Amino acid sequence: MNYKIAVIAGDGIGPEIVREARKVLDVTGKKYNFSFDYTDLLMGGASIDVNGVPLTDETIEKAKASDAVLMGSIGGDAKTSPWYRLSPDKRPEAGLLKLRKSLNLFANVRPAYLYEELKAACPLRDEIIGDGFDMVIMRELTGGLYFGERKTVEENGVKKATDTLTYTEEEIRRIARRGFDIAMKRRKKVTSVDKANVLDSSRLWRSVVEEVAKDYPEVTLEHMLVDNCAMQLVRDPKQFDVILTENMFGDILSDEASMVTGSIGMLSSASLNETKFGLYEPSHGSAPDIAGQDKANPIATILSAAMMLRFSLDLDEAADAIEAAVKQVLKDGYRTGDIMSEGCTLVGTAKMGDLIAERIQ
């Protein structure tokens, strides 16, 4: 079987980490008798340099024509890059927001799992870590504050900025159903995170989630205010199974969750629409300070590729093989700099990709 994969390497470390993910995918395909046709696309700063805009309509159409999209990272140094002297709608991140909206990628799935071998890299105390933790953050991705109306005006000589947070009940219902569906395949618990003590949007969120929960009697639902959830993630992360939340809260909480796993370089993600189509990318940024130095951790991108096999292509056995290979490499003591600990072997980006590929073969 052959699959069409759109590849957006992006900026900074993006090309390096995507190269390793493709290496691992190709080895996995040979073992399990499938192959890929890759189409390289530009987005973010790379697209600005060539096309003058962070995302072209042609790129959107080519992405839609693929079976899935594999992405590295976009953006640069906001202080020094010329990209950030452009208006906000022309900057690299605007391309990603537009792509998500154009492809209707409303459901962002971010696993946060603490590997036994990386407990030393976790900043939490041993008594908090216990036997480890394994959660999924389900973040609504195409609504809320990031996509609401915004403006900056000057009134009586004073500048005023306004950002609008809007959700419809249907936007909430569809992400809630995805969250409960995933919970049914895990430990059957959903923690819905909002700010219902203050925000009308959160009160609607809570009401709709409770309606959806009635269709999933086997799943335990709890509500948690976002500030309490941020505290609980560092106080007792193992209490969580599926965290269901809106766009901005999910953005913040998933980064916090990534750090309690030891490094954001370990956190994969999938952004899905209402079909099997998805965009797969690491949760970290473009890290321009280490770009081109063979220092970046490619594991999050490699695990994102495994999620692509699982969610979009129904290749569960191959996805299992990649995840097992990552665990084995960590068990064998190999580490990139961000997860390095005493007694382990330090390797670069390319070597880490080689090691994972070897264990699949």
In tens, the pLDDT along 149-167 reads 999 999 999 999 999 999 9
Please state, in angstroms and rounded to a whole number, the distance separating the CA atoms of residues 205 and 176: 9
Whole-number pLDDT of residue 223: 98
Please state, in angstroms and rounded to a whole number, the distance separating the CA atoms of residues 90 and 41: 18
Continuous H helices in the chain: 14-32, 45-51, 57-64, 92-102, 126-129, 169-184, 200-213, 226-235, 247-260, 299-311, 316-331, 349-360
Identify whether 227 is a catalytic site residue. Answer: yes
The one catalytic residue in 3, 146, 216, 334 is 146
Identify whether 251 is a catalytic site residue. Answer: yes
> In terms of C-beta density within 10 A (0-12 exposed, 13-18 middle, 19 or more buried), how is residue 361 classed?
exposed
**pLDDT tens, per residue, the chain with 361 residues:** 999 999 999 999 999 999 999 999 999 999 999 999 999 999 999 999 999 999 999 999 999 999 999 999 999 998 999 999 999 999 999 999 999 999 999 999 999 998 888 888 788 898 988 888 999 999 999 999 999 999 999 999 999 999 999 999 999 999 999 999 999 999 999 999 999 999 999 999 999 999 999 999 999 999 999 999 999 999 999 999 999 999 999 999 998 988 888 777 888 999 999 999 999 999 889 999 999 999 999 999 999 999 999 999 999 999 999 999 999 999 999 999 999 988 999 999 999 999 999 999 8
Place of tokens 């009586």: 156
Question: Amino acid identity, residue 146?
Answer: Y
The one catalytic residue in 255, 294, 327, 354 is 255
Question: Amino acid identity, residue 308?
Answer: M
Identify whether 146 is a catalytic site residue. Answer: yes
> What global pTM score does this model have?
0.88
Which candidate, 194, 195, 143, places its Cα nearest to that of 164? Answer: 143
- The secondary structure of residue 19, as a DSSP letter, is H
